[in-house]
Amino acid sequence: MSDVTLLKLILELAAILAAVRIMHFFRARAMRRLASRQGFEYLGPAAPPQWWWNTSRPMIPAPLPGRFSQLGVSQAWNIIEGKNKGVSVLIFDGVSEGVRSHPCTFIACQTEQSPFPMTTSAEPVVQMRGWWVLGGVKFFGFFWWSMGTRRLDRHLDYLRE
């Protein structure tokens, strides 16, 4: 391998890593604005604890209750927590465990009935121990983590009704 080819490869990898960092920066900024708009608290972190997504070792931050381990989430970031009309709400981006891991946005509400009437088959809703958890939107058969903040706002609006 020539020096020029090696340098080109290194520059391409650096560009990819920089793009991923920039993407996480803008996502964190959008999630902070969402938290502020909804009157919630943004707990962070802004990027995955192991942002290259080594999911072999779970790294769930302290604000994320252990009961969410049933979702198969090994890492969580952009954690937002708050109450809406007395309902506890937890929103976070996460990545699942294992080789076939995929990033996803989750909205969890502690209610007796599902507050997510707007969901589609692409947005699975799971009930666990008093929490209703909506997983992110499927995209070509894969989960896609960046559920937009407008969509998150619409889901949260159902809690106000």
Separation of alpha carbons 143 and 123, rounded Å:
9
Separation of alpha carbons 43 and 28, rounded Å:
11
**Where in the sequence is the domain holding 65, given as residue range(s)?**
3-160
pLDDT at 112: 84
pLDDT, tens digit, 9 for 90 and up, residues 40-78: 999 888 777 655 555 455 555 555 666 666 677 777 888
Q: Is cis: bond before 48, omega within 30 of 0?
A: no
pLDDT at 55: 47
Range list of H helices, 39-160? 149-160
In this predicted structure, the answer to whether residue 130 has a pLDDT above a threshold of 60 is yes
H or E element in which residue 37 lies: helix 3-38
pLDDT, tens digit, 9 for 90 and up, residues 78-98: 889 999 888 889 998 887 666
Number of domains in the chain: 1
Identify which of 102, 47, 52 has the alpha carbon closest to the alpha carbon of residue 73: 102
* Distance set, CA 151 to CA 46, 107, 156, 158 (Å): 20, 11, 9, 11
pLDDT at 37: 93
